[in-house]
Structure 1
Amino acid sequence: MTVMGLDNARTYYGEVLTSSGDLRTDACATAEAPPLAVRQALAQVHDEVCARYYGCGLVAPQALEGARILDLGCGSGQDVYVLAQLTGPAGHVVGVDATPQQLDVARRHEAWHAEKFGYPSSNVTFLDGDIARLEDLDLEPGSFDVIVSNCVINLVEDKAAVFAAAWRLLKPGGELYFSDVYADRRVPDALRRDPVLHGECLAGALYWGDFLSLAKAAGFGDPRLVSDRPLGLNDLRVKEMVAPIVFFSATYRLFKLEDLEPACEDYGQAVRYLGTIPGSPEVFTLDKHHAIETGRMFPVCGNTWRMLAESRLAPHFAFMGDRSRHFGVFKGCGLDLPFSPPAEAGVAGGCC
């Protein structure tokens, strides 16, 4: 972050906000219902940690047993402690945050959580740092299976640095799985400098087209939208300030795979889900457009094939076909607004 952005985030999340009830919009609140495993894990997290939670989505992808995970902007540690349970004692979760008050809460309950989880020792680490300057931390390149972030990248001015660092720190086939706030157009400079809009995760929201460009420039070809929702602006003054911009909370997954293609190319390939991912015996949802039922032959593009075959998800699938014959692009993939718009907006959304 810039000094101004970093200082404002520290002040807003360390001093202005004392709990999620102080928020003036629902940008930093999670609306979707967590799956059972996540609900059970949340029940094991200390109340004080949960009270200082400001995330906008769910950042717990599946198949995390034994994984090494990095949480960018971990705050008081709620997601870290949820993920620590999903990885099991053989996994490890590293949380990075720049707000001392938040980290104090997270660290204060580290031993409590290890005992609560029944682990012989803590499997989490909290680091004080700026996620736009991850090179300043002693993190080994290519050492993480998954990187998550929950409504924090919007607070950073140098977003390109965050995506570049994530690419560098992930293992080949690893993924950046994160929730954040996006806009249907570029936010004007005058609004981007407002400290309340910045703290409420609106001022720094990326125009979705700029996000796609930044992600691809860092190496993450073919970003996949997992879920999205239009944001509710509960504060009338805030709503009037930002009108007519429409904001969305969205979760994306970006795989570290070299040379993904820019379109959904058809090679006649298919996968069959084995139903073996915990919590998903009947269907596995890769993204908003790929819900793969157990046992069914499921045609996929070359990129989707690689996301499944060259990641930690591979043991849970059978793979058919190769890339020896090209059948052109899959029909129906466009470049329109990918998010589901609010009913009153009248904007066509979705791709595929």
Structure 2
Amino acid sequence: MARRKTEVRFHAAVDLSVIHAAFVVATGGPCGDAKTEAALVGPTTEINTRLISASVDVRGFWSALFAAVAAKQAARDACEPALLAAGCSELQVDQTAPAIASRLDECRIAFAKRFPKLREQLQLRSGPLKDRWQTYGPGLLIQTAGQIWAAAPPDDWWPPRIDVLLVQPMRGGDGGFDSSEGRVWMEAMLTDADPQVSELFRLAYWITRVAVGRHLSATLGVPSEPSAPEDFGSGTHRVSSLPWDLGCVPVVLAAGHELEILRTDKLPIADAIRLWRLGDPAVGQVVDQWWQQWGDSKAPTPVALKALDRMLEPLRRAGEAAGGAARRGSANTTEHPRR
């Protein structure tokens, strides 16, 4: 079994906290901080209005901006490339970028008023997770790799280092990853939202997704047009036809159970999928059933994931049918949707 230790480095991500909060408010995500939401709704609405008028993909812009700031680029400097990445024409970008940069400055100022000592707060918040990771993290990764690779993972499965960017919580727990850069971001939670689904497992899950993304890029090649790596964790630089995102959940939890970090008779698979914003209860139930059938099968992981993909197919078809009905219904009504 590969035992090369991965260096996990924790960082207080102040600038990224601003963009994360603005992203949540701008894209209508559930926000647990009403005061911050109220402070940011004005400038983010103006930004979205600008984006729409310039025919720019709103969510694509915020994802590209998030990725650039995660890479330590200033938000103001990242505006123009983020706009171009989201479809803004070169003729419009010179006028649009400065206007959006000014609104982002307003977001930064408003956020600083809400959290004047954010760096110190994030460093304090990182303490519990960092301590638990130093105690249990290396063993959890070893056990997780063994689950995926039937106790014989390649020596280079885990990256030599992972940067964990900790941001101010806005959603009661959230995270994402960028496999090509060995980078993970997480909301810095002081306590676990669910005692059975520790933030330790969330971190192990995102690091596992980095390893999977690196492996897929090495074996399948890097796509010519990689997707933005944030988007609340659903994006990476390698999109696979297999449901690695869902399959990795029980793998990490089972590794924790083997190490007696997770002490429960039944793995909280559906709860983790809900808390980590990976799917609804129906998806969680399917993944739970899949793991009961395949968790002890010793089948190669791709084979097991193909079975999971088949089990998820009815939910995908139902979702597509519901989406089509919703679109047809909206075409036959004069009522405007709520913004």
Give the structure-1-normalised TM-score: 0.28
Where relative contact order (Cα < 8 A, 6+ residues apart) is larger, the structure is 2
Return the structure number with greater strand share: 1
Return the structure number with greater helix share: 2
